[in-house]
Chains A and B, each alone.
Chain A
Amino acid sequence: MEKITRRDFLVMSGTTGVALSALGVNLAPATAYAAGLTKMDRVKSAKQIGSTCCYCSVGCGILGSVDNLTGKIINIEGDPEHPINEGSLCAKGAGLFGLSGANEHRLKKVLYRAPKSDHWEEKDWSWALKRIARLVKDTRDKDFITHNAKNQLVNRVETIGHLGTSNVANEEAWLISIACRAMSLVYIDHQARV
């Protein structure tokens, strides 16, 4: 007999778990359903990967199913073993699949808009990174303030701003934070205020 875990039918009753196996119910598929694979067949044969939802700050656990052949996400649902959400998700969380590569609106290329242009152009990373670095350096070097009006050493740049994000991992947030300081920026903010 398969081990019944919280991921299985036990959680069907929400707060009061009901062990169907204990009631003598045979849950093995009675008959083969229609021809072709059901969503469940595809999910069962996929890789299951646990992660965390990316909307509010509750930190719900999610389980993504990734097709072994294509590497694409085919399903995302709540992780029943997560102690906070116990499998549940709100409208945004339940729709996380909409953030995956399957969403046709996802950006897939570096886009560049030249001065006075009315359209985006596709560029490669190498060109864009070099151009950005050039703009950063030229702006920083030109506008660098070593001393303030009181002749105190301040080593800062006031003409480049950084608006960051709370939708990154800690490791990325820390990296952004120190990169801003290394570039001598002081206008640094993110969603904590808005």
Chain B
Amino acid sequence: MTNHYIDLKNSDCILIMGSNAAEHHPIAFKWILRARDERKATLIHVDPRYTRTTARCDYHVPLRSGTDIALLGGMIKYILDNNLIQEEYVKHYTNATFIVNANFKSEDGLFSGFDAEKKKYDKSTWTFEKDETGIPKRDLTLQHPNCVYQLLKQHYARYTIEKVSAITGVPADLIERVYKDYASTGTKDRAGTICYALGWTHHTVGSQNIRAMSIIQLLLGNIGVCGGGVNALRGEPNVQGSTDHAILYNILPGYLKMPTAPIQTLAEYNEKYTTKTNDPQSANWYQNYPKYSVSFLKALFGEAAQPENDFGYSWLPKIEDGKAYSLMHLFDEMYKGNIKGMFCYGSNPACSAPNSTKVRAALQRLKWMVNVNIFDNETASFWKGPGVDSKQVETEVFLLPAASSLEKAGSQSNSGRWVQWKNKIANPPGDALSDGDIVMRIMDEVRALYAAEGGVCPEPILNLKWDYRDAKGNFDFLKTAKQINGYYLKDNETAKKGDLVPSFALLAADGSTACGNWLMAGSFTQKGENKMAARGLDDPTGLGLYPNWSYAWPLNRRIIYNRASCDLNGKPFNPKMKLLEWTGEKWVGDVPDGPWPPVSDKKAGKYPFIMKPDGVASIFGPGMAEGPFPEHYEPMEGPLNKNLLSGQLTNPMVSVFKTELDKFANADTKFPYVCTSYSCTEHWCSGALTRWQSWLTEMQPEAYIEIGEKLAAELGIKNGEKVRVDSVRGAVKCVAMVTKRFQPFTINGKVIHQVGLPFNYGWLFPKDSGDSANFLTAAVGCPNTFCPEYKAFMVNVSKL
């Protein structure tokens, strides 16, 4: 979230799209309803299904799964056609005024530079024209035919309300109502916000769903203001933190890039990722990249990391450039017999990964698996799963008992980036240990083996700084937190060796600081006071920022890009919601996005989007795989064999796995119904934690599928009956919940039914509660992130 949960109360229009906030973030609804109580905010729910969220919104906009960009693209067109933009913001804080390379083209669903054979874009035309000083050329009148604003207008000219309606199934008058309500937040005195979640990321166009909304938010001047922002309501308690700390193949802690094979030295690595600008008004924050990368290597390898050995850069694994190593790729390789061992901490891919048939077959090809959990789960026990002959399975499996969250301390980052320190409530039962203790002990043993026996490339293992034990020999959360925050390795004018680094602005690239994750530098004071444990309830701005409650990265900033809430002179666009104000000497309010004066100070002033090399936000976003403007593509499996907006049916950048189990059935009469998968309030993720809790299974005891009344009548299915759901990849049996909450769509004049089912179930427990919905889903994902397309696929439903 650019903003945070309490800030939802400051919004005038809340668009909930790709999220079922009331069911999955129930406490967020406290603040959403408060916006309606106190500001008469309009609450809109765009979702294929009427849910508990819809029940409390002003109105429901039922949309066919996988057509969000069509609806949002239409909104961009509506805003531009009716000139509803926040003009000052768009002109000065975004790249709308930038002149794009004259050879850039957007035609028939493709952008210039596409190589159909290699499924690759040559992005050399996705650039800006620059003046003689190397600064992008701008047209502040927004009239230049090749400026971003005009290209945007041109790109979305096709997204008429009639076309959007034919694709999405939303009636035209309802589309117009959404556009009108949401675009009303383009005035300076109003703010609109978006709450999205997995309903947007779980598509082959996932990243572009979010980009499309970001463009809308920029056009309306809604980013950096309270009550606005682009807000991902993330699904797990610390998925923000586990992402920040990079339990991911493509990044290192603090979103540093994962080194790739062609980048052989630290100098080349830093050169590549240190962004450059010639514009003196751009803060270009990533010019500091080497300070963060070197400090990370110092935290990782300690004394062994020295300038002479590139601070141990060569010891880091290098991934192949352009190759992905995501969960889907892991299971593809495992299925092909190329993976021998797997660690599986607190996750249950036998149920949660797409295409369960393939995943469960793949698991049987492992030599060993270490599974760490608080309950048994379908992944740990795969060798005794349905249809598996355990005598044929060679895998050695370790199921290690973990402490639950209640049984350990540490910090947890919520979606609003509040890093809250938590206390241990009780000891874990039996022999259970925290995940930290388990990783620490496994690495202790691995290190001991390498120390005793030697081995291949022992340096990263033996040089690893690995002293995270407390006096009793247990994993020391506080000590590790300090390591992440970072500390000085040498005395200087303001600090002694060993002092904690109070801000990432003070990190150095010469090896004189160590920092496990630069984003967290500042989570302690220099003298070691833990700001994450702060519990002050003062709210000086009255906007719910609670600056003394926990620590929000970066630098306790509660709303990111907050300087964009002020005009060029640093005065708030909306004086009634004064998030930040320039007094002539300093900023007061939230922690500003940098100390510099506002933009009107041509000498010292900086643009507000400091993380972008140009200092402004990207309406034109050349970093995306499939194009700088989002374009509607149909899901990999859908009811149509033609995209109504272009000749390009599906996302041209998507590649599919090639095994015999990776099958698709688009516009196939055998699988006529659009299907989506989701969770329910009462369960969590694959249900691996919640299915073992009787109060929760009492409320949602077994797998079900929600089917509209009309479709159920056609199929002769009665409420509560058992049905079978098939996709081209697999089948599940579950209980039919016949409902008015799914209504058929009219898509391009044809009636299309949609159904949906939760992914919370598995064969292990409770017995006979059904199995995973992921037998139906395909392992195919967004080419930017490789989030699987769990939210749109095709099925058949039949009576059992």
A–B touch (CB < 8 A): the answer is: yes
The chain A residues found within 8 Å of chain B, CB to CB, are 15, 49-61, 64, 66, 71-73, 76, 81, 83-86, 88-93, 95-96, 98-101, 103, 105-118, 120, 124-125, 128-137, 139-141, 143-144, 146, 148, 150, 152-194
The answer to whether A52 touches B237, judged by C-beta atoms less than 8 angstroms apart, is yes
Excluding A92-B683, A118-B391, 18 further A-B contacts by CB distance (< 8 Å) are A51-B406, A55-B684, A56-B233, A84-B5, A91-B695, A118-B383, A136-B341, A155-B460, A165-B242, A169-B411, A170-B242, A174-B516, A178-B464, A182-B300, A187-B330, A187-B333, A191-B236, A192-B239
In the complex, A147→B765 CA distance in Å? 45
The answer to whether B480 touches A175, judged by C-beta atoms less than 8 angstroms apart, is yes
Which residues 167-214 of B have a CB within 8 angstroms of A?
A: none
Of the A-B pairs whose beta carbons lie under 8 Å apart in the complex, a sample of 14, sorted by A's number, is A84-B27, A90-B27, A98-B693, A99-B689, A103-B693, A110-B398, A125-B441, A130-B445, A132-B370, A161-B330, A164-B345, A166-B241, A186-B325, A193-B327
In the complex, A112→B24 CA distance in Å? 35
Which residues on A sit within 8 Å (CB–CB) of B400?
A: 107, 110, 128
Which residues 230-270 of B have a CB within 8 angstroms of A?
A: 233-249, 252-253, 261-262, 264
Partner of A168, one of B242, B419, B450, B484: B242
Question: At the interface with chain A, which of B274-282, B371-379, B611-619?
Answer: B371-379
- Within 8 Å of chain A (Cβ to Cβ): is B25? yes
The answer to whether A193 touches B787, judged by C-beta atoms less than 8 angstroms apart, is yes
- Within 8 Å of chain A (Cβ to Cβ): is B384? yes
In the complex, A109→B442 CA distance in Å? 16
Which residues on B sit within 8 Å (CB–CB) of A96?
A: 406
The answer to whether A51 touches B440, judged by C-beta atoms less than 8 angstroms apart, is no
In the complex, A157→B318 CA distance in Å? 10
In the complex, A83→B546 CA distance in Å? 8
Question: At the interface with chain A, which of B65-73, B154-162, B347-355, B502-510?
Answer: B347-355
Knowing A57-B415, A158-B338, A188-B325 are in contact, say whether A168-B346 is a contact too (CB < 8 A). yes
- Within 8 Å of chain A (Cβ to Cβ): is B656? no
In the complex, A161→B325 CA distance in Å? 9
Partner of A140, one of B367, B439, B456: B456
- Within 8 Å of chain A (Cβ to Cβ): is B481? yes
The answer to whether B317 touches A156, judged by C-beta atoms less than 8 angstroms apart, is yes
Partner of B25, one of A58, A144, A169, A175: A58
Partner of A187, one of B325, B390, B685: B325
Tell me how far the C-beta of B109 lies from the nearest C-beta in chain A, rounded to whole angstroms. 26
- Within 8 Å of chain A (Cβ to Cβ): is B339? yes
What is the interface residue range for chain B against chain A?
A: 35 or more
Which residues on B sit within 8 Å (CB–CB) of A192?
A: 239, 242-243, 247-248
The answer to whether B5 touches A58, judged by C-beta atoms less than 8 angstroms apart, is yes
The answer to whether B339 touches A161, judged by C-beta atoms less than 8 angstroms apart, is yes
Which residues 754-800 of B have a CB within 8 angstroms of A?
A: 765, 781, 785-788, 790
The answer to whether B693 touches A85, judged by C-beta atoms less than 8 angstroms apart, is no
The answer to whether A187 touches B329, judged by C-beta atoms less than 8 angstroms apart, is yes
In the complex, A136→B235 CA distance in Å? 31
Which residues 417-443 of B have a CB within 8 angstroms of A?
A: 418-420, 422-436, 439-443
In the complex, A59→B235 CA distance in Å? 11
The answer to whether B423 touches A50, judged by C-beta atoms less than 8 angstroms apart, is yes
In the complex, A12→B484 CA distance in Å? 41
Which residues on A sit within 8 Å (CB–CB) of B34?
A: 15
Partner of A166, one of B242, B319, B390: B242
Which residues 381-408 of B have a CB within 8 angstroms of A?
A: 383-384, 390-402, 404-408
Residue from A93, A98, A179, A187 whose CB has the most chain B CB atoms within 10 Å: A187
